[in-house]
Amino acid sequence: MIDNEIIESLRFFMDGSPVNFWAVRSAARQLEYAGFTRLEMTDDWHLTPGGRHYVVQNDSAIFAFIVGEDIANQGFNIIAAHSDSPGFRIKPHCEMRGEGGSLRLNTEVYGGPILYTWFDRPLSVAGRVILRSDNPLRPRHELFDAEQPLLVIPHLAIHFNRNVNDGNKLSKQKDMIPVAGIGVDSDFSLRSFVAGKMDVSPDDIIDYDLSLYDCQGFATLGLDESLMNCGRLDDLSMVHAALIAITAMCDTPSRKTRVMAIFDNEETGSGTKQGAASPILEYILRRICLCSGLTEQQFMRAVANSFMISADNAHGLHPNYVEKQDPTNHPVLGGGPVVKINANCKYMTDADSAAVFKTICEMAEVPCQEFVNHSDVAGGSTLGNILTSQLPLRGVDMGAPLWAMHSCRETASTSDHVYITDAFCEFFSL
């Protein structure tokens, strides 16, 4: 049975999160509505058991926690996910004028998108704009969303490439440049356009982090509405499920400290100050302990008593490409959350942590599946094994099964999202 309230909440969250910065803004608003207060890393913290707080790093990563009553002995229950998705970032000095009066915007590929899925779609621009302030070391940060179709990456007609359906190697610099119009004023600049939308002077804009996004929003589909289709399901659907779970626990006392950790830059290796390879999560957990009067030894005990769910989506069995999956471990859409396993430790899952998550699913009355790569296919990695290089946490890598991961639009099961939300709520209730 589909919980329509959860799916409508997901729709609202996805449509309000066109890029990583906006996803963090959306998450922060939900947390504040649930009574969480924002802390700054530059300030002193004053924490008490039951306190609800969150921290934002670089505008693109967010960490929320509810302080437990016995941190040293009970540790942290952590759900980790990431805010970024593959796509296109706009370069500086991006205006490119060409034949026929065309104006294009120069872009750089971010992460590993399926390039051809971005062709011939109405695209817009969103992200972060950096403005001058009185303190040169602390410029102002403002979010920007054009909120209208601005661009298209037009495909070459089949008449000029008769072999296009037999395979079409694409150049990221030539084939994937979006067109902003024809006959646009010769003095047009993206900086001036953004400034006009924000009602600021172009001279006040020092720099920007702007990306393209697909203007078509979240959709449910299928004769029984069993499927959902949207850009950025990997990994914003897991962010949403974690948000629902931690905000549902606000009024439930616990000896454990419950943590939601949403990192950025997973799609490019996590090696940034807001990524999983940085010490940011360790800093926050250590600071919770210090502000609760714990010693360094008690912090280490808390880590040893902790468990983490690394929530990053998985590959569901594709009905047209069954042979691509492992013959005995191929999760299906609608079959429940997926435990991700890799013999070469690309995932943090082992038999112990898999057993913990399977038990949580049983307690939540949620089905559970397993994913292992076909042995002839190299797999990727995710947050779990990167985080364990910073903290020796027990934990499991899991996610929802998807079709077309890293496509401009991905497809998943609505029931799986409800299952995972229920499992996360069960985990935070322990």
- In whole angstroms, what is the distance from residue 204 CA to residue 277 CA? 33
| 126 close to 215: Cβ distance less than 8 angstroms | no
pLDDT given for residue 24 in this prediction? 98
pLDDT given for residue 2 in this prediction? 58
| 45 close to 291: Cβ distance less than 8 angstroms | yes
- In whole angstroms, what is the distance from residue 374 CA to residue 8 CA? 35
pLDDT given for residue 390 in this prediction? 86
Q: Which residues of the chain have pLDDT under 70?
A: 1-2
Nearest-10 crossing angle of helices 233-248, 4-15: 120
pLDDT digits (tens, 9 = 90+) for 55-96: 999 999 999 999 999 999 999 999 999 999 999 999 999 999
Backbone angles phi, psi at 59, to 5 degrees: 65, 0
| 332 close to 316: Cβ distance less than 8 angstroms | yes
User: SS3 for the chain, per residue?
Assistant: CCCHHHHHHHHHHHHCCCCHHHHHHHHHHHHHHCCCEEECCCCCCCCCCCCEEEEEECCCEEEEEECCCCHHHHCEEEEEEECCCCEEEEEEEEEEECHHHEEEEEEEEECCCCHHHHCCCCEEEEEEEEECCCCCCCCEEEEEECCCCCEECCCCCHHHCCCHHHCCCCCCCCCCCCEEEECCCCCCCHHHHHHHHHCCCHHHEEEEEEEEEECCCCEEECCCCCEEEECCHHHHHHHHHHHHHHHHCCCCCCCCEEEEEEECCHHHCCCCCCCCCCCHHHHHHHHHHHHCCCCHHHHHHHHHCCEEEEECCEECCCCCCHHHCCCCCCCCCCCCCEEEECCCCCCCCCHHHHHHHHHHHHHCCCCCEEEECCCCCCCCCCHHHHHCCCCCCEEEEEECEEECCCCCCEEEEHHHHHHHHHHHHHHHHC
pLDDT digits (tens, 9 = 90+) for 113-168: 999 999 999 999 999 999 999 999 999 999 999 999 999 999 999 999 999 999 88
